[in-house]
Structure 1
């Protein structure tokens, strides 16, 4: 079965199960989940979490992204052409002094979750920074190349185009080897992200553990706090998906220490890190580990304090808050959180599995017409 286009998540489970000739009882036994939970996920009474999704995917010899389904692919020919030419010097860019500004603008579009504009600009920016890096051989120039591949990974991961995501992190690591230590740390963080997206959480943790050792020996000052911080955030997400409480808490405590060192939000190499960013990951992981009241309380505190984070972090806060609200039976709160996620970042909400899954379950549970839910379902392409 090819990857199902969104909307998919929980609705894909039954399709894959039937294709594999498995009964609910057989799949539940293989995955180590209850038949009741599996049944509720398939009919839309319970949201599919990525932790449960990974277990179900493994039971059917699938990756998590295959189970969740990918967004429809668009024309990637220009971008693929630019990626293929990683080792081929091109024409020198006309205004090399403007390349840093171009990459900064690309990251701003990323933070604003302007996915279509990011894709539109990527081929040209990638071609120019790669040509400049070959021309000069400077580590700073190769750092820009690594940063652009980080954006490609982010875009591919949002759509669950995992072949592109894995190719992007491969090239990102190659560029980072010619750049500076912090570029290598960010590349490792994104590499672990491909393991997260595929459902190989333990493999991702191994990447993070190795990168933490590297960061501790190569970085110093605020750069060290930033590099270790982004690694520990990825680590706590991976450990939370494994329901490994001890490892999760270890990464949370370390991330909080690093956040205290930077004291305010930092934005480097397309990444954000600081106290607010750490709180967003705590919310998501608390929801993964079914600590729903903690997730709601942390989310409400963060929102009331006034978030200064960009849209690409604010929208997931509302999505993860909605996950825990739904688990606690607060359907009205879930709907309100979904509306805020869509208002903050419509392009992300349209392809994000959490947004789609929450909408699917709300549609299943609502027995009466609801104009607000109808508008969201129509935008998500989910049949009422």
Structure 2
């Protein structure tokens, strides 16, 4: 927690400014290191570290991963894990119990297949709305139901449903940075996918690479992506092949961008754009989108990771000129977070606040736990020189005390 003194109406006030970047100084000092030592060990300049620690610059997840490696800490300790809301503790316990039963046949009475399919469709919709609380509440029963069905009938279609349910488990865990659960989810997802179909395998690989992304192991994640791409090119055909390759390249460009591997990022970007041009509308499988819009959303985020902030702003402008975005809140809210990060880096705090407000309006639960949202709010709050009702409102929503 960083404490920043400001003046409002002539009176001094202390603002508690939480956010991943505020953890850097605390963790560094706990290890007994100065900024010089951390800069040398992480490959991040002392100037940049100082700005991050003072709340003058948002901590990116790529820099956070470098800091975590240097300090010998897991990435989620630097970024911070989202707490479990008290009213959701029982649901999380039930979800862990459902995951533990993955290999055990039997269980509750069989759930009709149409009911299971309806539950999976509802889960896709809840993910789209970024309703994290509802996803957590409904996932345990859904996981138990599809697992029992798959053990009973053993068909590829049944195991594909298990794969889809575990993709939702991974999504939920990754959003909160509950990495033990995320690791378990992709392990089970991959086992189920091997008994399902090539597309399920590709989505499982995409989520497995996502776990490496969330741990900051970008090189390993890229290895998973490249292996999966080769497998899809050998086994898949038609529209499913184009979709699978596209969403894998989106994961690849994100990983490469976080790793600051510009050549690899640009290669994945070019391939993703080429595939996206074959889609007139966004394809949606398991709640995972691919098409022109989601490609643009990912490229905007990666442009920010590569310090191409003006390029990110320009791509957004082109999206608007083409008629806007039809993607669900789970994709549009992070888009606005990343645009807010680019604008705050470019020095336009008003536009940064505007985009951050849009992110919160679209998906408040997601914005509250997302590290980019937390960091942009931390920087805006640290830099503000006078009372700003809009910023005050966001700070209250985020539990930042004025």
Q: CA deviation at 1:113?
A: 0.4
What is the correspondence of 1:99-110 to structure 2 with a 5 Å cutoff?
Answer: 99-110=116-127
Correspondence for 1:210 among 209, 221, 227: 227
Correspondence for 1:180 among 197, 205, 225: 197
Q: CA deviation at 1:186?
A: 0.2
Q: State the distance in 1 between where 2:103 and 2:254 align.
A: 34
Partner of 1:290: 307
Structure 2 residue 154 is the aligned partner of structure 1 residue 137:
yes
Q: CA deviation at 1:302?
A: 1.8
Structure 2 residue 86 is the aligned partner of structure 1 residue 86:
no
Correspondence for 1:55 among 37, 61, 66: 66
Aligned-residue CA RMSD in angstroms? Answer: 1.2
Partner of 1:318: 336
Q: State the distance in 2 between where 1:94 and 1:166 align.
A: 27
Partner of 1:26: 37
Tell me the secondary structure at the aligned position of residue 267 of structure 1.
Answer: strand
TM-score (norm 1): 0.97
What is the correspondence of 1:169-318 to structure 2 with a 5 Å cutoff?
Answer: 169-304=186-321, 305-318=323-336
Partner of 2:5: none
TM-score (norm 2): 0.92
CA contact (8 A) 1:222 1:261 kept: no
Q: State the distance in 2 between where 1:111 and 1:96 align.
A: 23
Partner of 2:81: 70
CA contact (8 A) 2:111 2:149 kept: no
Q: CA deviation at 1:63?
A: 2.3
Gaps (5+ residues) in structure 1?
A: 1-5
Q: State the distance in 2 between where 1:130 and 1:357 align.
A: 39
CA contact (8 A) 1:150 1:187 kept: yes
CA contact (8 A) 1:183 1:269 kept: no
Q: CA deviation at 1:261?
A: 2.1
Q: CA deviation at 1:208?
A: 0.4
Q: CA deviation at 1:127?
A: 0.6
Q: CA deviation at 1:8?
A: 3.0
Q: CA deviation at 1:215?
A: 0.7
Partner of 1:331: 349
Q: CA deviation at 1:300?
A: 2.5
Tell me the secondary structure at the aligned position of residue 248 of structure 1.
Answer: helix
Cα pair distance change 1:199/1:94, threshold 3 Å? closer
Q: State the distance in 2 between where 1:352 and 1:7 align.
A: 12
Q: State the distance in 2 between where 1:23 and 1:253 align.
A: 41
Q: How many residues are matched?
A: 379
Tell me the secondary structure at the aligned position of residue 150 of structure 2.
Answer: helix
Tell me the secondary structure at the aligned position of residue 278 of structure 2.
Answer: helix
